[in-house]
Amino acid sequence: MIHLRVLAVSAAVLSLTLSFVSEAAANGEVNVYTYRETKLIQPLFDAFTKDTGIKVNVVSASSGLEQRMKAEGANSPADVLLTVDIGRIDEAVQAGVTQPIKSEAVDKVVPAQYRDPDGHWAGISMRARVIYASKDRVKQDKITYEELADPKWKGKICIRSGQHIYNNALFAAYTAKYGEAKAEEWLRGVKANLAQKPSGGDREAARDVAAGKCDIGIGNTYYWALMMNNDPEKKPWAEATRVILPTFEGGGTHVNLSGVLLAKHAPNKANGVKLIEWLVSEQAQQMYADQNYEYPVRAGVAINSTIAGYGKLGPDPLPIAKIAANRKAAASLVDKAGFDN
């Protein structure tokens, strides 16, 4: 009798196990290539798997993912590509490794300004290119991008390389607005105001402002929040500065995107689309806001309190696709102006 009970329990456990295995097999997996650091987005993938049962396999790199996808061709395992900037988005599209994302959910949630007109990419979070201003030496609380070329800032600006993708996007936006001739003139004016040769990253711009090497640094919104809240060693750099949301004259603040693309040869296409749709859900958008200190693209999602403390963001209305179209011109103008020399 005891043996029969053991057999019955074992059979029940085996049946339950097979049920879970069958469900996992049915839900399948999705393969993600990402430029975002895995530690920053793993919580999102874990939540997605918990919600859907779909396993997320991740390949992370700081460069070259679109070239890898192109080399892999039809045998590429990639389903989804996550990027950190419109530059990476544009490079992937130009490499021919994407396909249109056909999703009513994405089209409904993500504003047209932050989607590819042909459907090859969509923004899933935003960041702004802003000013880290010295609390002690900068009294004004409003600055325009055009003003960065004003001689009053001579010897007072710190910035990373003009060819870095974050600056390239800002310079491309300026080029899209004013044309190449005026963009070159502006770049020469900004270069004349630099306190030192462009170097380091956005955090180092805040460091150098704190050290008195310059009065204002150029950086992305989330770096300041990360220094203030997540990095005790660099917190003094944030404490010595404050964030000013600059604007274009007659426009708004330049924003860039973390974007998502659907791979051209996605072997798990349906699951890839499910992941993309999940990333613009309220849950995922709130995680982006609170864990990565980015602006959500979904309306109605609360902005992290640290980021909200910068002031109300009024994004410049220039479509991101137009910025992408001027990336090469901006890169050429940086070299022409000798910006990094």
Each residue's pLDDT tens digit, 14-67: 333 233 233 334 479 999 999 988 888 899 999 999 999 999 999 999 899 999
List 296's β-bridge partners, or say none. Answer: 125
Which pLDDT score, from 0 to 100, does residue 55 have?
Answer: 97
pLDDT at position 40 = 81
Amino acid at site 177: K
C-alpha triplet 170, 186, 154: angle, nearest 5°? 105
Which tokens belong to 337? 């102006």
Residues 290-335 have pLDDT tens digits of 989 999 999 999 999 999 999 999 999 999 999 999 999 999 999 9
Strands of the chain (E only): list them: 29-34, 55-60, 80-83, 98-99, 121-134, 157-158, 216-220, 241-244, 255-263, 295-296
pLDDT of residue 7: 36
178 annotated ligand binder: no
Contact 138, 215 (CB under 8 A): yes
For the chain, give the percent of residues with pLDDT over 90: 88
**pLDDT number for residue 2:** 38
pLDDT in tens, 131-153: 999 999 999 999 999 999 999 99
CA gap 260, 48 in Å, rounded: 15
Question: Minimal CA–CA distance to 262: which of 95, 116, 58, 78?
Answer: 78
Longest alpha-carbon distance in the chain:
94
Question: How many helices (H) and strands (E) are present in the chain, helices listed first?
Answer: 15, 10
Residue whose C-alpha is closest to residue 130's, from 47, 28, 248 = 248
Q: Is the pLDDT of residue 89 over 60?
A: yes
pLDDT at residue 11 is higher than 90: no
Position 22 scores a pLDDT of 35
Rg (C-alpha) for the chain, rounded Å, is 23
Q: What percent of the chain has pLDDT over 70?
A: 92
CB 101 within 8 A of CB 89: no
Segment 70-91 mean pLDDT: 94
Which residue's structure tokens are 């980015």? 294
> What is the rounded distance in angstroms from the CA atom of residue 254 to the CA atom of residue 113?
12
Which domains can be identified in the chain, with CATH numbers? 2-126+257-308 (3.40.190.10), 128-254+313-336 (3.40.190.10)
| 223 is an annotated ligand-binding site residue | yes
Using 50, 70 and 90 to split pLDDT, how confident is the model at 8?
very low
Is-contact 316 248, C-beta < 8 A? yes
Pick the closest to residue 103 from 321, 268, 261, 264 (CA basis): 261
Query: Helices 38-52 and 269-279, interaxial angle, to 10°?
Result: 110
In the prediction, which pLDDT does 202 show?
A: 97
Q: Is the pLDDT of residue 205 over 50?
A: yes
Q: Give the closest residue to 106 by CA, choosing from 126, 124, 132.
A: 124
Confidence bin at 121 (pLDDT 50/70/90): very high
Strand partners, 126: 257, 295
Q: Which residues contact 249 (CB under 8 A, 6 or more apart)?
A: 144, 146
Strand-strand pairing, 29-34 and 55-60: parallel
pTM score of the predicted model: 0.88
Residue-wise pLDDT tens digits, 221-274: 999 999 999 999 999 999 999 999 999 999 999 999 999 999 999 999 999 999
Give me the amino acid identity at 141: D
* Dist. CA 123–CA 138, nearest whole Å: 33
Mean pLDDT, range 83-92, rounded to an integer: 91
* Whether 217 contacts 140, CB under 8 Å: no
**Separation between Cα atoms, residue 322 and residue 90, nearest integer Å:** 11
d(CA 301, CA 295): 9
What pLDDT, on a 0 to 100 scale, did the predictor assign at position 38? Answer: 81
With residue 23 as reference, give the H or E element that holds it. Answer: helix 2-27
Q: Please tell me the distance from the alpha carbon of residue 285 to that of residue 48, in angstroms, as a whole number.
A: 12
DSSP string, 124-137: EEEEEEEEEEETTT
